[in-house]
């Protein structure tokens, strides 16, 4: 199959490209390297060194004997994306090409606008390109469980059957996103649903939980093939952050009461889910949603898992509660349905102490690259400054 991966230089995009290439697909990737640019702007970086895309592609050819072609540009550029679609004629597009961080979207007006422009306008531009150039193509779009928020009812997979004043209908599940990033993903979902209903396109919206881990079968082949490991307060995910803090002796930063519960999955399972979606495409005109996660944890449960796992290998770990920079329910009901991918054959890798210890070992090898000042939360959902003593100490003028 001819597959085009948008965001192919990213945390998930690069492992996906290698996995699909290894399966014999004809893979092309698109990226404008904005993720690398954003890290430079914030003086942060991946804990594990990441080679330039061209070097990764050369290494993949050397290790596997398979080719991956690349295009450098932005999907917001209509002329560029139309040319790529014409050149590659993809049968499937895997769309990771977006700004992926909730804190980033809440830093400032500029960051909010960049998030919405990149995500909403980029995806809308892509939809027009698909309509005009490859209308039979299957769009596999990475969404997020954060679109739903934390409702007091079970979260269904994209749609819900409701009865109102004696009549029934199946409608999109109500959305209550908690950041401007998550709101941009809601806009994406509505635009894609529209394109399927009105233009007859087809798409699978993968509402993904929080991903953890860095190793896949392909990244393990050669250190030049590794993917990102982000732990900073803007782009890092909670488990990555906790594991880095455990290794360097920093208290685990639990925001608020720690009762926030979300869906999680291993990076290996992300690749499984994408493969299953590709191998079981919807009909033309169909828009479907899969909730893509394997387990649910609260922040406090994850902190305890990391504390316990780290103690077993000799790290002394303190769990500390910090003022929550976000506006969110800290104790809430959370029960999301995730049966569709399991029905297609997903075999989950569950999170446990063995995997956490493996992550700690990886971090230990690169601990000299940890940028400690980038860990503590500094981005507020509401205007004002966080009352975190460690941050205040960093801002205080140094004596001459």
Mean pLDDT of 158-187: 98
Tallying the residues shown for the chain, one arrives at 400
Mean pLDDT of 107-117: 98
Distance CA 80, CA 84 (A): 6
For residue 392, is pLDDT > 70? no
Mean pLDDT of 52-72: 98
Q: How much is the pLDDT for 13? A: 98
Per the annotation, the verdict on 287 as an active-site residue is: no
Pairing of strands 68-72, 92-95: unpaired
Contact 274, 140 (CB under 8 A): yes
- Convert the pLDDT of each residue in 244-259 to its tens digit: 999 999 999 999 999 9
Mean pLDDT of 98-119: 98
Q: How much is the pLDDT for 383? A: 86
- Convert the pLDDT of each residue in 195-246 to its tens digit: 999 999 999 999 999 999 999 999 999 999 999 999 999 999 999 999 999 9
Per the annotation, the verdict on 185 as an active-site residue is: yes
Q: Which of 44, 96, 123, 185 is catalytic?
A: 185
Q: Which of 92, 118, 123, 144 is catalytic?
A: 144
Q: How much is the pLDDT for 393? A: 61
Q: What tokens appear for 198 in the block? A: 């009105």
For residue 121, is pLDDT > 80? yes
Tell me, yes or no, if the pTM score tops 0.85: yes
Closest to 182 measured CA to CA, from 147, 155, 216, 137:
147
- Convert the pLDDT of each residue in 78-104 to its tens digit: 999 999 999 999 999 999 999 999 999
Q: How far is CA 364 from CA 58, 62, 173, 319, in A?
A: 28, 28, 43, 19
Mean pLDDT of 49-64: 98
Distance CA 183, CA 146 (A): 9
Q: Which of 11, 96, 181, 212 is catalytic?
A: 181
Q: How much is the pLDDT for 388? A: 74
Q: How much is the pLDDT for 391? A: 64
Torsion sign, CA atoms 179, 294, 336, 194: positive
For residue 278, is pLDDT > 70? yes
Q: How much is the pLDDT for 384? A: 80
**Ordered structural domains, the chain, with CATH:** 2-208+270-292 (3.40.50.720)
Our CA angle for 90, 92, 96, nearest 5°, is 110
User: At 167, is the pLDDT very low, low, confident or very high (cuts 50, 70, 90)?
Assistant: very high
For residue 396, is pLDDT > 70? no
Q: How far is CA 10 from CA 36, 77, 228, 397, in A?
A: 9, 19, 7, 37
Mean pLDDT of 383-397: 67
Per the annotation, the verdict on 170 as an active-site residue is: no
């Amino acid at each position: 199959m001819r597959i085009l991966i948008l965001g192919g230089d990213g945390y998930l995009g690069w492992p996906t490209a290698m996995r699909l290439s290894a399966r014999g697909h004809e893979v092309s990737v698109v990226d404008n390297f904005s993720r690398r640019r954003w890290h430079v702007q914030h003086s942060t970086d991946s804990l594990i060194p990441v080679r330039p895309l061209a070097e990764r592609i050369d290494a993949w050819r050397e290790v596997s004997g398979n080719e991956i072609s690349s295009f450098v540009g932005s999907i917001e550029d209509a002329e560029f994306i139309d040319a790529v679609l014409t050149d590659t004629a993809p049968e499937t597009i895997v769309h990771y090409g977006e700004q992926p961080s909730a804190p980033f979207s809440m830093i400032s007006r500029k960051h909010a606008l960049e998030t919405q422009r990149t995500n909403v306008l980029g995806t809308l531009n892509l939809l027009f390109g698909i309509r005009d150039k490859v209308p039979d193509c299957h769009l596999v779009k990475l969404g997020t469980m954060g679109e739903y928020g934390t409702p007091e009812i079970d979260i269904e997979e994209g749609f819900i059957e409701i009865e109102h004043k004696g009549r029934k209908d199946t409608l999109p599940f109500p959305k209550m996103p908690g950041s401007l990033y998550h709101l941009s993903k809601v806009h994406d979902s509505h635009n894609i649903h529209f394109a399927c209903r009105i233009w007859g396109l087809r798409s699978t919206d993968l509402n993904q939980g929080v991903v953890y881990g860095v190793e896949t079968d392909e990244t393990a082949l050669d250190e030049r093939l590794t993917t990102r490991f982000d732990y900073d307060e803007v782009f890092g995910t909670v488990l990555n952050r906790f594991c880095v803090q455990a290794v360097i002796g920093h208290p685990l930063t639990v925001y608020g009461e720690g009762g926030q519960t979300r869906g999680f999955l291993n990076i290996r399972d992300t690749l499984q889910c994408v493969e299953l979606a590709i191998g079981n495409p919807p009909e033309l005109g169909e828009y479907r949603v899969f909730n893509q996660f394997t387990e649910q944890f609260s922040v406090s449960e994850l902190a305890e898992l990391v504390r316990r796992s780290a103690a077993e290998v000799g790290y002394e770990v303190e769990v500390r509660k910090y003022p929550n920079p976000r506006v969110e329910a800290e104790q809430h009901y959370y029960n999301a349905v995730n049966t569709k991918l399991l029905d297609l054959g997903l075999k989950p890798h569950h999170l446990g102490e063995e995997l956490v210890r493996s992550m700690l070992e990886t971090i230990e090898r690169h601990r000299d690259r940890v940028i400690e000042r980038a860990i503590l939360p500094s981005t507020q959902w509401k205007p004002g400054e966080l009352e975190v003593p460690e941050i205040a100490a960093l801002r205080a003028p140094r004596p001459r």
